[in-house]
A and B are shown apart, each in its own frame.
Chain A
């Protein structure tokens, strides 16, 4: 069964940086698009960024474009989200969510997420 484990979250001051990591197992990582989805405390789910299986296609939500950078290493079955110039409103639980790529496919693998808190 597929599994992802997110790490790298923590407390950071506004303007600071963090690098989130996602370690995958139990599925063919190299064929899946990787998404980062976040959830602010008490709020709903919000898509943040995606990277295609070959890293050819990368996309960001407007709120994080220019500040966040997504990457992956298929040889290591891992992905990362580099977050710079963090804002208070980036405070959230960040999930790494693989996607098989078919439009009929929902997000069937979720980790427990890693918490990012941006506060002075």
Chain B
């Protein structure tokens, strides 16, 4: 089954760009979805299918997906962006949803 690897933490200063990576075998052949979970809240979809933004998401979000790595970037980071960020795909054999372990964003 698919295994998705995310670094456990990322730290950036306000105004900088936060980059989250999600590594998986041939993940570039899959649709990758990204979620944000703020402390004490349920996860929320940030970007689906590599690039489709649910309404209301800021345009400072960008994604890429190629080879064995998918990437989510938030430009002009602010304190309110502090959260855990998860990537998710569907396993190509079992069709089960698979989540990465999550990356905690700290805004310095």
If the complex has contacts A35-B97, A37-B97, are A106 and B102 also in contact, measured as CB distance less than 8 A? no
Whether A47 lies near B35 (C-beta < 8 A) is no
If the complex has contacts A45-B99, A47-B98, A47-B99, are A104 and B49 also in contact, measured as CB distance less than 8 A? yes
Say if the beta carbon of B65 comes within 8 Å of chain A. no
* Count of residues in B whose CB is under 8 Å from the partner chain: 26
Whether B43 lies near A110 (C-beta < 8 A) is yes
| B30 to A, closest residue via Cβ | A103
Query: B76-108: which residues lie under 8 A (CB-CB) from chain A?
Result: 84, 86, 88, 90, 94-102
Whether B99 lies near A106 (C-beta < 8 A) is no
With most chain A CB atoms within 10 A of its CB, the pick from B45, B47, B86, B97 is B97
Tell me the bound Cα distance from A99 to B95 in angstroms: 13
Inside 8 A of B47's CB, which chain A residues have their CB? 106
Interface digits, B17-36 against A, CB 8 Å rule (1 contact, 0 not)? 00000000000000101110
Say if the beta carbon of B62 comes within 8 Å of chain A. no
Interface digits, A85-110 against B, CB 8 Å rule (1 contact, 0 not)? 00000000001000100011111101
Inside 8 A of A35's CB, which chain B residues have their CB? 97
Say if the beta carbon of B44 comes within 8 Å of chain A. yes
Number of A-B contacts (CB under 8 A): 61
Say if the beta carbon of A44 comes within 8 Å of chain B. yes
Tell me the bound Cα distance from A44 to B31 in angstroms: 20
Contact residues on A (Cβ < 8 Å of other chain), bracket:
20 to 34
Whether B42 lies near A105 (C-beta < 8 A) is no
| A35 to B, closest residue via Cβ | B97
Q: Top 4 closest A-B pairs, CB basis?
A: A106-B33, A106-B48, A104-B49, A110-B42
A-B contact pairs, 28 of them (CB 8 A): A35-B97, A44-B99, A44-B101, A45-B35, A45-B99, A47-B98, A47-B99, A59-B94, A59-B95, A95-B42, A95-B43, A99-B97, A103-B90, A104-B49, A105-B49, A106-B33, A106-B35, A106-B88, A107-B33, A107-B45, A107-B88, A107-B97, A108-B45, A108-B48, A110-B43, A110-B44, A112-B42, A113-B42
